[in-house]
Amino acid sequence: MAETTFIPFEKVKTVRDTPLEEMYTSGHRTCQGCESAMVMRHFSKAAGPRTIATGSTGCMYVANTSYMTTPWIIPWMHTQLGAGGSSAVGTSAALRALMRKGKIAEEKINVIAFCGDLGGGDMGLSGISAALQTDYDLLIILYDNESAANTDIQATGMTTYGAQTTFTPPGTKHRIMQHRWKKNVAPMLAVGHPTCRYVATASATYPPLDFHNKVRKALSIGGPTFIHTFDPCPKGWDYHPQYSREIGELGIKSGIFPLYEIIDGTVSYSYDARKRARTPVREYLVKQGRFAHIIDEDIDYIQSMVDSMWNEWEIPGVAPFKGGLEPAKN
Amino acid sequence: MIKRVEINYRGIFQKTLAKRIGGDIVIIASRMGKVGFSNGRYSDSPERNGIPCKYFAFVSPDLEEEELEAECGAKLDIDEADVSVVVDDTMVKGVEPWGWHGVRPINEKVVEKGCLLVVSRKRHDELTRFTARTPYSYRLATIDGDASLAGLWVFKDDLTHERVLGAIAAVDPAIIAIDAVEAYLLAKTKQEHRARAAREAYDAVLRQTSVVTPEQGIAWPHETPELPPWHAFEEGAVVRAPARHFEMGPGGQSRNASFKRGTTKTLRPVIRFDLCISCTLCWLDCPDECFDPVEGRLYDVSYAYCVGCGKCADVCPIPECIVMVDELQFDSDASPWEHYRSDPDGYTRWAEEKKGTARYAYPHVTGTGFEIRERESVAPKDLG
Ligand SMILES: Cc1ncc(C[n+]2csc(CCOP(=O)(O)OP(=O)(O)O)c2C)c(N)n1
Ligand code: SF4
Ligand code: SF4
Ligand code: SF4
Ligand SMILES: [Mg+2]
């Protein structure tokens, strides 16, 4: 069996050792209970003050830039909707050139680009792909609230099957308008970019510190890296904001959003939904108004897809191949 | 002549409600032979959960439709309102919406003899202790009820919409008349209870209207932050970050001083520091970075920035340690931990008094209402 590469990084071992200082601070206009804001808060905490962030258009741009004010303490720059990857490459290239020419001191400056599920997983995929083939040190975080949330909740390639969005309202003839199964972005990037050393999925709050340490690992291993986060969105998913953490935890425990790291090609589970009894997806779905219209039949379908992900896929929860591996017969 | 109505509501939670009220005012007025027009405040979009927003309705008996639209369309805000409706009473503490900076009084737009119409179970003096003093008198009317909160996809049909329409007819019949409200609701829904709800609210509001004189209300305590105008943008459209600063203690973390967002909350977390086991979860999981680590492994909270999401109370493992309490019970955003440190017993008694015994319990899906439950029993020694 392949050994997982050892990454020397400063691990935060207990919640009490989490850095106290905020690099993304109070005074933003995200919704009550916004989990994407938690991604911002914790990636910047983990990366620390010597970090430059760029952010694609979306909630985490618009809600964090009210007129002439900012909650960012680290330098942050807005970039276009599909430009997460190219902004990361440009920033890293500029830093490298400035250091080579002696215009700024040689030091490690983290470059992190974040983008939403529409901006990164749909529109900006080619730019991220290009970034993952460079030799720059950069981290791309795709924060996935499962919709184009900023423009009032339109379906994207990452919206859960069956969910109501502005683009997919349930009607009297057609109950389900979001027919697409969630795009499997992180594995697509890992499979497609064999030299990319670190790809992971995460949730900002569950398990505690998991995301925080993944950011630290990604920044320590070097080269281009990628993390896909799972962000419950009280506005678009329609649940009371106090339950953000619970909804995230249920998403992971039900196995609908698999948690893992792929380090130098080796997969390791951060929450092993193969081994632990998976919470029925029903418990996750019925707590959200975006699924208020679905019926048992739909829940059974979603459950069967999740079960197939974990029971039938060659690499459970990650790669949707189902064995075979024989020479072609025709 | 133009009659102006503004509906102050909580972003997303009351968006559908406000839109329905505004839209129906226009239809009812047009059935009365007037011209109407309604729109949302442009700068409120995209709305975020909890943020104070506005919806407008304009009615005129004599202007042409184009004239009314030219007068009232695409405005950032209106200058005056004949009726300011407030569908969540905690907004009487002031509102800081999307496109504005600084906390503004809820009655800022109400004209002389106009009406502030609030959905609330509070007495009128419990509301005017927060509203801004005005140089003239205006009316205050209340519709008995709780804030009707719903989600984006699940509307809470609890007759608030019908009752507000009836109440508007009571406070200003020149906008819409109660007979027209009833006729419209009956024709549209064929459901008598909806028309009845409007009529009952109409009757009740006629009894529950008072005059607010220039002596009532408070001197407005919030200053509007001064921000540079657009032409003073620095090269590259640079916006200065809050200065990096952290130390242990209240306010030890630097924050965005020009935009605090405390007016987003309807409930605030009250903390029993003596029950805290220092698990860190409230601090770790607050999406608005509101907790300040203080000595003794406790966490103070900055109410000026707290949006009242309730997450800290949800994740706190100790019963009764963090409880969400009606925002209208509080006059100050001062550090609760300073209070606790200077007088631990006094603070605990104060906190328990504020908490009372009723606890808000929200189901997961927002549009399905909430319950008020009795506090679960906790050992009396723990309650101070
Ligand atoms: C090229 C382009 N097309 C459309 C838009 C309008 N727009 C702004 S934000 C947004 C949604 C982005 O969705 P996502 O990337 O998932 O981020 P979220 O808002 O969900 O955080 C859209 C469509 C834009 N800004 N640029
Ligand atoms: S819409 Fe969703 S992602 Fe956007 S600010 Fe609100 S909770 Fe966060
Ligand atoms: S209610 Fe609690 S978690 Fe929510 S913003 Fe306020 S302090 Fe933070
Ligand atoms: S969550 Fe509760 S017990 Fe834990 S640190 Fe906060 S107040 Fe204390
Ligand atoms: Mg999105």
Provide the pLDDT confidence category of residue B380 given band limits of 50, 70 and 90: very low
pLDDT of residue A274 exceeding 70: yes
What's the confidence (pLDDT) of residue B155?
A: 84
- Which residue, among B51, B365, B368, B370, would best test binding to A if mutated, counting the most A CBs under 10 Å from its CB? B365
Per-residue pLDDT averaged across B269-278, rounded? 97
Contacts of B381 (CB under 8 A, 6+ apart): none
Cβ of A152 within 8 Å of Cβ of B45? The answer is: yes
B350 touches chain A (CB under 8 A): no
What's the confidence (pLDDT) of residue B377?
A: 56
Protein residue with least CA distance to atom 4, ligand 4: B279
Of B83, B94, B171, residue with least CA distance to B129: B94
To the nearest whole Å, the CA of B253 is away from the closest chain A CA by 7
> Which residues numbered 206-265 in B keep a CB inside 8 Å of some CB on A?
227-228, 239-242, 244, 246, 248, 253-261, 264-265
Number of independent structural domains in chain A? 1
What's the confidence (pLDDT) of residue A107?
A: 96
CATH annotation of B3-212: 3.40.920.10
Place of tokens 């979001």: A178
B322 touches chain A (CB under 8 A): no
Helix H or strand E segment including B186? helix B178-189
Mean pLDDT score of chain A: 96
Provide the pLDDT confidence category of residue B100 given band limits of 50, 70 and 90: low
- Residue range(s) defining the domain that contains residue A156: 15-313
To the nearest whole Å, the CA of B214 is away from the closest chain A CA by 34
CATH architecture of residue range(s) B262-374: 2-Layer Sandwich (3.30)
**B52 forms bridges with which residues in the sheet?**
B10
Provide the pLDDT confidence category of residue A191 given band limits of 50, 70 and 90: very high
**B325 forms bridges with which residues in the sheet?**
B268
Q: Provide, rounded to the nearest whole percent, the portion of chain B with pLDDT above 90.
A: 80
Residue A7 lies in a domain: no
Residue A9 lies in a domain: no
pLDDT of residue B44 exceeding 90: no
ipTM of the predicted structure? 0.95
pLDDT of residue B99 exceeding 70: no
What is the C-alpha separation between A153 and A147, in angstroms, rounded? 5
What is the C-alpha separation between B303 and B298, in angstroms, rounded? 16
Q: What is the CATH number of the domain that holds A59?
A: 3.40.50.970
Contacts of A53 (CB under 8 A, 6+ apart): A43, A44, A72, A74, A75, A76, A77, A112, A113, A114
Cβ of B258 within 8 Å of Cβ of A33? The answer is: no
Q: Which tokens go with A155?
A: 């379906």
What is the C-alpha separation between A217 and B215, in angstroms, rounded? 62
Provide the pLDDT confidence category of residue B384 given band limits of 50, 70 and 90: very low
Write out the E strands in chain B: 3-10, 35-40, 52-60, 81-86, 110-119, 138-143, 209-212, 267-271, 291-294, 298-301, 322-326, 358-361, 371-374
To the nearest whole Å, the CA of A327 is away from the closest chain B CA by 51
Tell me: the pLDDT tens digits for B309-334?
Answer: 999 999 999 999 999 999 999 999 99
Instruction: Give the number of beta-carbon pairs within 8 Å between A and B.
Output: 199
Cβ of A28 within 8 Å of Cβ of B365? The answer is: no
Report yes or no: B261 and B289 within 8 Å, Cβ to Cβ. no
Per-residue pLDDT averaged across A80-106, rounded? 98
What is the C-alpha separation between A127 and A84, in angstroms, rounded? 7
Which residue from A32, A66, A238 is facing B264, i.e. has the nearest CB? A32
Between the CA of B264 and the centroid of ligand 4 the distance, in Å, is 23
What is the C-alpha separation between B303 and B316, in angstroms, rounded? 18
Tell me: the pLDDT tens digits for B115-144?
Answer: 999 999 999 999 999 999 999 999 999 999
Q: Which tokens go with B76?
A: 């950032």
Among B158-162, B227-231, B264-268, B334-338, the minimum mean pLDDT is found in B227-231
Q: Where are the domains of chain B?
A: 3-212, 262-374
Cβ of B259 within 8 Å of Cβ of A27? The answer is: yes
Pocket residue to mutate for ligand 2, from A30, A117, A142, most atoms within 8 A of Cβ: A30
Cβ of A245 within 8 Å of Cβ of B366? The answer is: no
